[in-house]
Chain A
C-alpha cells in the first residue's frame, strides 16, 4: 500500500487526489423517511393524536409506559400502511410482527420503541419521479421496505443556561409512524427533493398522511456518500447519515453540503468506505453545515427481539384486495390522464396534479363541462390557483362551484365574454358568491350589436387620424391603442370584433 492514513497529506497520492474534480464524482443517496399516519388514535392505545394540545394531556397508562399496561394494535394504522405500501408498489407482507428496539432516553417511556425489525409490513417496491427537464427520463427509485413503529415523546430542554430540569411531553409518544427506506438509488440533491415531493403528494392523495413538516409529520434522514473515479478505480467515501432534516430545503442543502465536505475530506485524508465506519452527522439549519454526532463504534446496540406483548399480524389476500380496490388514481396516473386525454402540456398537468386531488377533480369537472381543456387549464391553472393562494383557501372552500365555473367558461368560449370581462365576472363571482349570470347583470354587461359597433369604430377613426396613419404606414401594433380606447368608450365592446372591424375600415 503506497498511501497510508497516518501521513496522508504529503504523499504523492494526495497530490493526485487534488487533481480530481468534484464534478466527476457521483453522489449516492438513500433516504429514510418517517411519515406520521393520519389516524385519530395512537398506534397501541386509544389516546388522540391531535397536534398542539397541552403537554401530557393526551396520554394514558399504555403510552406513558406504566407498569403492567399492555399495547393493542390500532387496525387503522395497519390499513393505512397497506394503502401506502400498495401506492409505492411494495409487496405487502402476509405476516408481520413487532419487535422491541431497546434504548434509554427520557422521552421513551418504556425504555424501548415498538417497531418492526425483520418482518416489515411493506417489502420491496418503487417510486418513479418525474424527469427534471422535459426531455429527461423518469427515474425509478427502489423502496427497500416500509415498517410501522411508534413515535417517541418530546424533550424540552432548559436553554436558559441555568441548568434547570428538562421537561418531557409525551403527547406524541405512541403516534404511528411509517418509516420508508429507499435503496441508494438517488443521485442528486434535487432528485432527493423530487422524491420527497412525490412521496408527500402520493401520501396526501391516498389520505395516509398530511406530511406537514412544520408539525414534524414528515421527517427525513439521508445516507450519503460519493463515488469518485480515481485512476483505474472507483473510490467510495465513508457513508454518512444526516439526521434532523425537517424541510425539503434542508434535505437539498444538506446533501449538497455533505457531498462537498466528503470530497474535500477525501482529498485531505484519502479515507474510503473500507477505512471508516458509518458516521451520523446532524444538519444545522443556522450554520448550514453538518456536524459529527457519533461514529458506529459507540452507536447503540438496540438488542431487537420480538415483542412478547403483541402477536404477529396475519394479513389476508382479501384484505389487501379490498384496500387496493378502494385506492383511487395516484398523481402519476392523473398526470398521464391530463396529458393524454386532456392534451395538457406535461408541465401544466404537473401544476394541476401537484395541487392535490381536489383541484384535479375540479379541473376534470370543468374541462368536461365546457369541453375545452386548454381554456379550463388556463383559467384554473392561473386564476383559480392565484385566488386560492391569495386567500389561503383550499379548493373545497372556493366559492365558485365547478358548475358555475363551467358556465362562465362557456360564455368565454362562445365569445359572449372576452378574457378581460370574463375575469371581471369571475372576480365578482368570488367576491359575492354569485352565479355568472348574476355577476354579468351586476357588472352591467350587455351585448353590443353590429350597428353600435360600426358607429363606435367610425368615431374612433375620426378622432384618431394620427394612429390610423401609423397603422396605414405599416405599424400594425398601433391598432392596440384604438382597441384600448374602444373599451373605455364602451366596456362591453368585444375587443376581437372591434379589431376586425377597424382593420377592415382602415384598409379600405
Chain B
C-alpha cells in the first residue's frame, strides 16, 4: 500500500520499525501536495523546512536516540495557529506577511513529539465562515466534488486529510469549524472540551468558544494526536487542570450499556431526508454494539444559533482590534492616524470579518449590551443546563453534524443566514464547552459524505473517541477516499 493510504498510527509503526524513512514519508506527501494542491487549494503554504526536519529525525533514529511518539509523521496545521518563523495568516490579507516569533503550545508539543509540520492549511478569514470561501487566499475545493465547499472554517485541514495530502491535520472549532468540514469531507474531527487543549498561539476568533482539535481519517488517529496536544498549559488561564485520560487505552472498551441520547427535534425540521436516513442507519449500528438508545430533549438548543451569533461577534470585535496597522499587520497608506486605521482595517479585512466586527461592536455598545450580550450569555447558561440535565440520563448525545451534505461553492455566499444555519447542530457544544466528534456515515446517493455527531460530558473525550472507534470497527465509511482525478458533482 502506498503511504498515503495508511493511517497515521500505522505510518508511525512503520517509521519506528525502519520500514520507511521520515524523509521518504515527507517527500511522498510533498509530492502529492505538489500534484493536487493547485486544484484543491487546501494548503496556503508548504513548510520549506519539512524535508530538513525529516532528515534530522532519520539521523537521530540512526544514532539510536530516543524519539517522540509521532517521530517523522507529517502533520498539516490550520493557518490560524502560530508556528514560529513561518507565515501564519489566519486566511487574512491583514496577516499576509506576519510570521509569529513563537510557537503555539500545541505546535511546541507536536514538535517535541517529533511530528513534522508539512504545511499550513487554508481557512475562512479569522475562522469566520462555514465554507472556506472567506479566505484571502481563495476558496478550498472539496476533493469529493471540487465544485463544492469543504466546509469551514478548517476547510483546508479537512480537504487535505480527505485527499491524503497529509495523513492528519489540526483544526480549530469555534462553532463547528472542525466538525462541519470533517462531515463535508468524510473524515473524523474532534472538538475537545473547552480548556482541554491550550489556546495559546491560536489566533483568537471568539476566545470563550475556540478550541483546537485533531482532524484525521479515524478516531484512533484523533486519540493519538489528543494524547500529544491535550493537557493543562500555564500560559492559557482558561486551560483546565482536569486529569487527561489515556485516550488510546480506552478505545477498545465495548459499548455495551453505554446510553446514547437522541434528540428527535434534531432529526426532523430542516434536515435533509438522506442525512436523516443515514443517521438512523448509524443508530442501528450503535444498537448492535450494545448501546442503549434513549430519547432526550434539548429545548434551549433552538436558541443556540442566535446566542452564538451574538457572543462570537462580540468577542471577535474586541479580539480583532489589535489589527490596526501599527505593528505587525498590513498597513494602508494614509495621511493621519484616523485614516490609517480606517484604510488598514477597511482594506485588510474581508467582508464577512467586517460584518461580524460591526455586529459585535454594535451588540456591545452602551444601550444594547444588556439586550444582546447579556441576554445571549443567559441563553448560553440555559443551554449548558439542558446538557447537564441530559447527561444525567445518557452518556452521549447522537445526531447529524450538519443539516445537509456539502453545498456548492457560491451557493450561500449571498445569504449569510443560510450559511449560518450550516452550524445549527454544532454551535451548542461550543456554547456549553462540551466535547463533540464528527464521524463519517454512509454517503449520500450522489456520493457526498455525511457526518454523524456525538457529544459528550465535559472532559470525557475518551468516551467520544471510544464510541467513534467502535463504530468505525463496524463500518467502512471512514476508509473511503475520493477518487482521483477529482470530480465535480452537480
Contact = CB atoms under 8 A, between A and B. Distances in A.
A309 B237 contact: yes
Interface stretch (A60-68, A84-92, A249-257): A60-68
| Majority secondary structure of chain A interface residues (helix, strand, loop or mixed) | loop
A61 B103 CA distance: 11
B71 to A, nearest CB: 26
A67 B315 contact: no
Interface string A87-109: 00000000000001010101001
A71 interface: yes
B341 interface: yes
Interface string A49-68: 00000000000010011111
B327 A308 contact: no
Interface stretch (B5-13, B18-26, B194-202, B448-456): B194-202
Contacts of A71: 237
B324 A104 contact: yes
Which of A71, A73, A106, A309: most chain B Cβ within 10 A?
A309
A271 interface: no
A68 B81 contact: yes
A357 B322 CA distance: 44
A466 interface: no
A68 B82 contact: yes
Contact of B82 (A67, A104, A109, A110): A67
A443 interface: no
A433 interface: no
Interface stretch (B111-119, B145-153, B251-259, B359-367): B359-367
B321 interface: yes
B426 to A, nearest CB: 19
A112 B366 CA distance: 16
A131 interface: no
A70 B238 CA distance: 10
Contact of B322 (A67, A72, A310): A67
Interface in B323-382: 323-324, 326-328, 337, 341, 361, 364-366, 369, 373
Contacts of A70: 199-200, 235-237
A294 to B, nearest CB: 15
A309 B237 CA distance: 7
Q: How many B residues touch the partner, as a band?
A: 35 or more
A66 B328 contact: yes
Contacts of B203: 67-68
A301 B318 contact: no
Contacts of B90: 67
B98 A67 contact: yes
Interface in B262-308: none
Q: How many A residues touch the partner, as a band?
A: 20 to 34
A100 B317 CA distance: 11
A310 B235 CA distance: 11
B82 to A, nearest CB: 5
B36 to A, nearest CB: 29
A69 interface: yes
| Majority secondary structure of chain B interface residues (helix, strand, loop or mixed) | loop
A488 interface: no
Contact of B237 (A104, A304, A311): A311
A305 interface: yes
A102 B357 CA distance: 13
A67 B314 CA distance: 17
Contacts of A411: none
Interface in B95-140: 95, 98, 100-102, 104
Interface stretch (B204-212, B397-405, B466-474): B204-212
Interface string B211-227: 00000000000000000
Interface in A348-385: none
Given A68-B81, A305-B373, A104 B321 contact: yes
A168 interface: yes
Nearest to B101: A61
Contacts of A308: 206-208, 238, 315
Interface in A288-309: 301, 303-305, 308-309
Which of B204, B314, B318, B320: most chain A Cβ within 10 A?
B318
A111 interface: yes
B234 interface: yes
A72 B98 contact: no
Contacts of B101: 61, 66
Contacts of B238: 308-311
A102 B364 contact: yes
A73 B104 CA distance: 19
B322 A111 contact: yes
B86 interface: no
B462 interface: no
Given A102-B364, A104-B341, A305-B364, A65 B234 contact: no
Contacts of A72: 234-237
A303 B234 contact: no
B183 interface: no
A212 B236 CA distance: 33
B327 A301 contact: no
B102 A66 contact: yes
A68 B341 contact: no
A100 B373 CA distance: 14
Contact of A64 (B207, B208, B237, B327): B327
B37 interface: no
Contacts of A102: 317-318, 321, 364
Interface string B237-248: 110000000000
A68 B369 contact: no
Given A68-B202, A308-B238, A301 B322 contact: no
Contacts of B321: 102, 104, 110-112
Given A65-B327, A68-B104, A68-B202, A305 B369 contact: yes
Contact of A303 (B81, B318, B323): B318
Given A67-B90, A68-B203, A111 B365 contact: no
Contacts of B100: 61, 66-68
B177 interface: no
A168 B326 contact: yes
A64 B104 CA distance: 16
Contacts of A106: 324, 326, 337
Which of A64, A70, A304: most chain B Cβ within 10 A?
A70
Contacts of A310: 237-238
Interface string B169-202: 0000000000000000000000000000001111
Given A68-B204, A110-B322, A309-B238, A301 B337 contact: no
19 contacts: A66-B102, A67-B95, A67-B100, A67-B322, A68-B202, A72-B235, A72-B236, A102-B321, A104-B324, A109-B326, A109-B327, A110-B321, A111-B318, A303-B364, A303-B369, A308-B206, A308-B207, A308-B315, A309-B237
Interface of A: 61, 64-73, 100, 102, 104, 106, 109-112, 168, 301, 303-305, 308-311
Given A68-B82, A68-B104, A106-B326, 8 more contacts: A65-B327, A68-B203, A70-B235, A104-B324, A111-B322, A112-B318, A305-B315, A310-B238
